Amino acid sequence: MEHSSQQGEAKEVAELKAKVSSLERQLKRQKHARKNAEWFLESYSNDAYLANQALRKALHDSKKRERELLYLNRSASQLTQSDSGSGFIFSALKSAVEFTDAYCGIVLITSPGKEPEIADNKVWTHDEGWIDAPDMVSTILEALPLSYCDDYSHWCVSAIDNPRIEQEVRLLHFMQKLGKDENAWLALVTKDDHLDEEMLHILDTTKHYLQFGLGYQSTKHEVRHQKAALSSMQENQAHLQEKLVSADKMAMLGQLAAGIAHEINNPIGYVRSNTSVAKDIFKDYQSALGDIQGLCEQAGGDILARFREFEDRYSLNESAEAIAEMFEESSEGIERIVEIVKALRSFSYPSAGKRSAVSLVEAVNSAVKLTANLHKYKNSVNFIAPSHDVQVLGNAGQIQQVLVNLLTNAIYATPEGKSIFIRLDETDTLAILSVEDQGHGMSKDVISKMFTPFFTTKPPGDGTGLGMSISLTIIEEHEGEIEVVSQENQGTTVSVSLKRA
C-alpha cells in the first residue's frame, strides 16, 4: 500500500513538473511574441510618419513645378503677343513678381548722365497692381548698382533693409541693354525663404525672352539670328519641362515605393514573428525526439525495436533535419525581404539626416574596406587621390552608401585579375569622384535603364535593383550629378560631381 502511494505521489510530481515546463515554454513564447508585436508597432508608427512627411514634400514640389511650368508658358506666349519692347518688359516684370511671390517689383530705364526713369514712384504688386510706394522705390534705387553698364548673365541677389518690412528681404535685379546707351532694369523685392537655385535658374529665362522681344524689330539678319536662338530656347524649355515631368514621376514612384514597403512590412512582421516562434517550438520537438530515442535505447528490447521501426517508417530524424533546414531557409528569405523593404524605404526617404563636411578620401578608404571581401582575391582596387583632403557638404552615411554601391557594381562587372581605379579630382567649386573598371561594359540600352528602380543585370537573388536608383536620388538631393561612360567589352566609368565644402 505504501509503495502504491509513493508511486502516486511520484506521478503527481512528474505531472506538475511537466505542467511547469509547459507553462515556462508558453511564457517564453508569449514574451517573444510580445517583443515582436512591440517591434511591429514601432516600425508601423515610423513608416506612417515618414510616409506623411514624404507626401507633404511631394505635394509641395508638385505645386512648385506647376508654377514653374505656368511661368515658362506665359513668358513664351508674351514673346509673340507683345507689340513693343517696353510692353514686353512690363509683362516680364508682372510674370516674375507672380512667379517669385515677391512683395513688389519695378522697371526703370537708365542712360549715362540722366536720372533713372520710373513711373511716378509706383511699384507693381501681384494683388493690387501699381501702387504708390516712394519709400520702397528709394530703397530699391539705393541698392541697385546703376553705374554697371554690361548685360547681366543671370539675375543677381542682394540683401536690403526696409523699416516697412519686418523680416529680412532680398533684392532680385537684372539689367538688359536696350541700345542707344539705354539700359532696362528689372528689380523685385522678395522674401529670403522664397529663393532657391532652381527658381533662379528658371527665372533666368527672362533674359532670353527680353533679348528676343527687344530685338524683334531689328534687321533681317538680326531676326534670323533671333529665330535660331529662339529655337535653342524652345529646346531648353522642352528639356526643362521634361526634367520637371521626370521629377514628378520620380516623386510619385517614391510614394509608390513607400506604399509597397509599408504593405510588405505589415504581413512580413507576422510571418517573421510566427517563423521565429515556430522555430523555437520545433527545437523543443527535436529535443524531445532525442530524449525519447535515448530512453528507448536504455530500455532496449521490444521498445527499442518498435522505436526504430517507427523511425524507419516515418524517417523521423531525416524529417526533423529537413524541417530545421526549411526553417533556416525561410528565416534567410524573410531577412532578405526585410532588407528589400529597408532599401525601398531608403529610396523613398533619401534626405534624412544632418549634413556636415565629409572627407571624400576617408569615405573612399572606408568603402574599399567595406567591400574588401568582394575584391581582395579577385581584383586590384587602386585609389588615386590628391595629396590633400577634399571635403564636400553632405550626409556622410548617404555618401558612403553611394560609394559602396558604385564600387560593388564595378567589382561585379570586372573579371578576375582585372583592375578598378578610383580617382578624386577637383575644380574651384566641385569635387569629382570617378570609379573606372576594366569590366564587360554596358550597352546603350542598359545605360538608359540603369537608374530605373528594380532594374538589375545580376542573377535573381544577387541584387534588389535599387542601388543605382537610390544613389541617383541621394546625389540629386546633394545637388550633384552622376555621369556614366561605358563601352561594351572595354569597361565603365561612373563619375560623381559634388559641391566642395
Boundary of a domain, candidates 217, 239, 273: 217
pLDDT mean across residues, the chain: 76
Residues 294 and 275 in one domain: yes
The tens digit of pLDDT for each residue in 409-421 reads 898 888 888 899 9
Q: Read off the pLDDT band of 431 (50, 70, 90).
A: very high
**167, part of any domain:** yes
- pLDDT-derived band at 347, boundaries 50, 70, 90: very low
- Cβ(173)–Cβ(200) under 8 Å? no
What pLDDT is recorded for position 449? 81
Q: Residue 29 and residue 210: Cα distance in Å, rounded?
A: 75
Using alpha carbons only, give the angle 476, 478, 484 rounded to the nearest 5 degrees: 45
Among 163, 192, 217, identify where a domain stops: 217
Tell me, yes or no, whether 11 and 119 share the same domain.
no
The verdict on 141 and 47 lying in the same domain is no
Residue 237: predicted pLDDT? 64
Q: How far apart are CA 101 and CA 191, in angstroms?
A: 8
Predicted pLDDT of residue 263:
66
Sequence-distant (6+) residues with CB within 8 A of 455 are 449, 465
The pLDDT score that the predictor gives to residue 362 is: 86
| Identity of the amino acid at 357 | A
| Domain count across the chain | 3
Which of 50-54, 282-286, 414-418 shows the highest mean pLDDT? Answer: 414-418
pLDDT at 301 > cutoff 90: no
Nearest Cα to Cα of residue 113 among 58, 183, 33? 183
Q: Is the pLDDT of residue 288 over 70?
A: yes
Is the same domain home to 191 and 263?
no
pTM greater than 0.85: no
CATH number of 367's domain? 3.30.565.10
In the predicted structure, residue 353 carries a pLDDT above the cut 80? no
Give the range among 166-170, 211-215, 312-316 with minimum mean pLDDT.
211-215
Which range marks the domain in which residue 291 is found?
Answer: 2-62+251-348
Residue 328 has pLDDT above 70, yes or no: yes
Tell which of 296, 326, 348 closes a domain: 348
On the question of pLDDT at 359 being above 80, the answer is yes
For residue range 187-236, list pLDDT tens digits in order: 888 876 666 666 777 777 766 666 666 655 455 546 666 677 777 776 76
